[in-house]
Amino acid sequence: MPKKFLKRFVPSQQFIKDHPSLRFLGPVVGDPNLFHLNRYSVSMAFLVGMFLAFFPMPAQMIAAAIIALWVRCNLPIAIALVWISNPVTIPPIFFATYSLGAWILDTPAMNINVTLSWEWINGELTRIWKPLLIGSIITGLFCGVTSYTIINIIWRWQVIRQWKKRKSKRKQPKIK
C-alpha cells in the first residue's frame, strides 16, 4: 500500500535522467537505489527531509540531495520533504524553533521584527542564532526520527497484513 501510494507522486528514474537541467549529474542519478520505494529508502528519506525542513539554511534541497546520495535513500522524497518549510510556513516554523531554543537555553525570547536586509542579518541574526539553531536541531531531529519510526511501523504493518491476506487466500478451498 505505501509503495503503490508513493509511486503516484514520485517521479521516475527515467524522468530525472531525461530532465535537461539534471543531465550533468550523469551516473550518480543512474543509481537505482536512489529511486527504490522500499522501507529503508523511504523511511531514511523522511528522516533526511524532515530534519532539513526545520534547519535554518539556504539551499535545503541541495543539502537533502547530497545527504540522500550519501545514505542511499530515496532522492525525490528527501528533496520534496524539505518544502515543508516554504515561504508561507517559514515564519511560524522558525518562530517556534526559536522559542524552543530560547526556552532550552533559558534565555528570554526577544521580540524580533524581521526585515530582509544585510543590516538585519548582521544585527539581529547574530543575537538570535544560538536559540534558533538549537531549537531547529531539536525540532528537526524529533520530527525526522518520529517520521522515520512511523514510516517503518506503517510499512511493516502493511507487509504483515498482505502476508496474512495471501495466506488466508491459499487456505480457502478452490471451487471447481
Residues 59-100: tens digit of each pLDDT: 888 888 888 888 888 888 898 999 988 888 888 888 888 889
- On whether residue 155 sits in a domain, the answer given is yes
Contacts of 120 by beta carbon, 8 Å cutoff, 6+ apart: 114
- Residue 1 has a pLDDT of 46
- Residue 109 has a pLDDT of 73
pLDDT of 171 strictly over 50: yes
End-to-end alpha carbon distance in the chain: 31
Average pLDDT over residues 23-27: 62
- Residue 164 has a pLDDT of 85
Q: How many domains does the chain have?
A: 1
The closest of 36, 88, 33, 80 to 60, measured between CA atoms, is: 80
- On whether residue 176 sits in a domain, the answer given is no
CB 80 within 8 A of CB 112: no
* pLDDT one-digit tens code per residue, 106-149: 887 777 666 666 776 677 777 778 888 899 999 999 999 999 99
- On whether residue 67 sits in a domain, the answer given is yes
Residues 46, 48, 54, 59: is their CA dihedral positive or negative? negative
CB 142 within 8 A of CB 54: no
- On whether residue 51 sits in a domain, the answer given is yes
Taking the complete model, does pTM exceed 0.85, yes or no? no
Average pLDDT score, the chain: 81
- On whether residue 56 sits in a domain, the answer given is yes
C-alpha to C-alpha distance for 144 and 121, rounded to whole angstroms: 28
- Residue 66 has a pLDDT of 87
- The number of beta carbons lying within 10 Å of the beta carbon of residue 34 is 21
Instruction: Quote the domain boundaries for residue 52.
Output: 2-171
- Residue 132 has a pLDDT of 85
- Residue 116 has a pLDDT of 62
